[in-house]
Amino acid sequence: MSLPSLTLNETHDPALRSWVESANAEGCPFPVQNLPYGVFRRAGSDEAFRAGVAIGSQILDLQAAQAAGAFSGFDDLARRAAHAAAEGATLNALMALDTAAWSALRLALSRVLRTGSAHQTELVACLVPQADAEHALPAAIGDYTDFYTSIHHATAVGKLFRPDNPLLPNYKWVPIGYHGRASSIGVSGQQFRRPLGQTKAPDAETPSFGPCKRLDYELEVGIFIGGGNALGEAVAIEEAETKVFGLSLLNDWSARDVQAWEYQPLGPFLSKSFASTISPWIVTLEALAPYRCAWTREAGDPQPLPYLDSPSLRETGAFDLQLEVLIQTRAMRDAGQAPQRLSLSNFRDSYWTVSQLVAHHTVNGCNLRPGDFLGSGTQSGPGPGEAGSLLELTGGGKQAIALAGGEKRIFLEDGDTIVMRAAARRDGLPLIGFGEAAGTVLPARSLP
């Protein structure tokens, strides 16, 4: 079956240019072939947050564009989608539509933002510079599920605790996940206090309470659900991506010492619920269609059960999406030094795919709803510089990382900012960027 998200059309033409000149610059993350959605307002204003589309260095205000009649000449499907996008402070109404409506709006946006558009004059006034904007979460997130899809991460972490048996028996058979905390998800720029919690040293008889000492980040891909499914109805893997509105970046901050004490037997709790940071832009699956690649499973590994397998999965189920993590310490910031790269990996190395996560999540009849959010789990690659967490990069806290200016890190310190970036790249095609997911650690609050 050919999914709508895999179909190439005129919006993907690499020759397209925009009348927004900054969108045509070499390496611009937001060319006219991207058109990601977010929620914004002018920074420091009391304006209502509203939906926008990134184009070059600008944001097209969808509410203003709708009022200017930019979509009046398009078909009913595109007009309905434009109205849904413009009507509120989140993208949930647009997410609740289907792939045909999302595609119709993307086509309309592409046409009104291309060079030669008859709508250029009225839409110039609907642009807001990204530098002048602040963002809110793009959706009201009802539920959040975090998965564990990188076998490289799972193996590396497993070796720290179970050197002779790093992977548990179920890992290669079932996508592992746990229910996360939606209320503490924030958008890029999030600042949060170092969490407090119980920890227990290996040589201690009783646990202690205080600030986390082993604070870490996790590089993940976020998956925003669009049209949901009814309670009791499973989503077949062939249809799974029709339920996905788009992808974002996710930093699932983790208190490793709290996690080590609390996670057995039920899994993470307070070690994960204090903060999660996402990028402000959602890149649609349609924008990523030219950057799909084959998904394979090692011949010696168990092959997926039938409900997690399909020909289209094998042909184009993976995403060639480069993922980067950088750090900027307080000292680096004060000295005017740019963030320093910690790792570079790729989403195509994920053991489980987006469609498999949706199919598995719903196979028991669980109902997903527009705006629900899935995390891919830490994305680590096979190489030593591809680890998506400090836990892996430092060998469980045994090997410090040398930073610019002579600083070292084993785990995060107060004042550290972690920046995550993602980009789809392919020769002959424009770069498709996600913006940044940046978050900063503040000192812990006083002990109660």
203 marked ligand binding residue: no
Q: Which one from 135, 152, 153, 360 is the annotated catalytic residue? A: 153
Contact yes or no for 246/37 (Cβ under 8 A): yes
218 marked ligand binding residue: yes
Distance (Å, rounded) from C-alpha 223 to C-alpha 278?
11
Sign of CA dihedral 71, 72, 75, 77: positive
Q: Is 1 exposed, middle or buried (0-12, 13-18, 19+ CB in 10 A)?
A: exposed
259 marked ligand binding residue: yes
144 marked ligand binding residue: no
Q: Does the annotation mark 153 as catalytic?
A: yes
239 marked ligand binding residue: no
- Is beta strand 276-278 parallel, antiparallel or unpaired with respect to 185-187? parallel
Contact yes or no for 222/371 (Cβ under 8 A): no
148 marked ligand binding residue: yes
Contact yes or no for 112/139 (Cβ under 8 A): no
Cα–Cα–Cα angle for 386, 261, 166, rounded to 5 degrees: 45
42 marked ligand binding residue: no
61 marked ligand binding residue: no
Distance (Å, rounded) from C-alpha 393 to C-alpha 247?
26
Q: Is 299 exposed, middle or buried (0-12, 13-18, 19+ CB in 10 A)?
A: exposed
37 marked ligand binding residue: no
- Give the annotated binding-site residues for Mg(2+): 252, 272, 276
Catalytic annotation, residues = 153
From the annotation, which residues make up the binding site for Ca(2+)? 146, 218, 220, 252
Show binding-site residues.
146, 148, 162, 218, 220, 252, 259, 263, 272, 276, 378
List, as residue ranges, the binding site for substrate: 148, 162, 259, 263, 378
